[in-house]
Copies of this chain bind each other. A is one copy, B any other.
């Protein structure tokens, strides 16, 4: 069913755009229907409720994000190369779908997320935790709580991409590489 897949995707795309821009509570189902160019009732053929829709979307986005940062992960490489890989994955993910990262950031922790969504997000955190933990063991990453280190990099990165999304700054390879350096300097141990 080609048309079916396409319609479901149009709904998910519209929901992602609107949730990212206005938030879940600020988005109405008729808005999603209009943006997706389907009838309001059609949405309920694919998703039980608005709440189920946001959960499916959240899980899809986070799963794609995990894929972006973990695919081809250089397990044997040194910590700096691993950091570059993760950072590169985040950039690829954010560029590929400019709204998804913002959607994840603004909706992780929301009260309407179901256990499966929370667990999916936890998987992402676990992956990042493992990286940070290994870096701390090698004495190359600061001995701060892993949560804090992840928050620093993730916070800096998402705020950055919000600026890019808003058109306030232009994303270039040089800029991204400098941002990466800046984030790395925030978490690494310094010798001087």
Contact = CB atoms under 8 A, between A and B. Distances in A.
Nearest to A160: B151
Interface string A92-113: 0000000000000010010100
Give the interface size class of chain A: 35 or more
A162 interface: yes
Main secondary structure of the interface of A (DSSP, over half): helix
Contacts of A147: 163, 168-169
Interface in A72-125: 106, 109, 111
A5 interface: no
Nearest to A153: B156
Interface in A13-51: 22-26
A168 B108 CA distance: 15
A155 B158 CA distance: 8
A94 to B, nearest CB: 14
30 contacts: A22-B111, A26-B111, A142-B178, A142-B182, A144-B179, A145-B175, A147-B168, A147-B169, A148-B160, A148-B163, A148-B169, A148-B179, A149-B182, A151-B159, A151-B162, A152-B156, A152-B160, A152-B179, A152-B183, A153-B156, A154-B159, A155-B155, A155-B157, A155-B160, A156-B186, A185-B186, A186-B186, A190-B190, A191-B192, A192-B192
